[in-house]
Amino acid sequence: MPTERTLAILKPDCVRKGLQGEVIARIQKAGFKVLGMKQIRLSKETAGAFYAVHKGRPFYDGLVEFMTSGPCMPIALEKANAVADFRTLIGATDPKDAAPGTIRKLYADNKGENIVHGSDSPENGRIEVGFFFSDSELT
The DSSP bridge partners found for residue 73 are 10
Nearest residue to 3 via CA among 74, 65, 72, 76? 76
Task: Return left, alpha or beta for 91; rule: phi > 0 is left, psi -120 to 50 is alpha, else beta.
Answer: left
Residue 54 is among the residues annotated as catalytic for this protein: no
73 phi and psi angles, rounded to 5 deg: -130, 100
The CA–CA distances, whole Å, from 94 to 97, 101, 104, 109, 136 equal 5, 14, 8, 9, 35
| Catalytic annotation, pick one of 117, 119, 129, 132 | 117
Residue-wise burial string across 50-60, b where 16 or more C-beta atoms lie within 10 A, e elsewhere: bbeeeeeeeee
CB 114 within 8 A of CB 11: yes
Residues belonging to the active site: 117
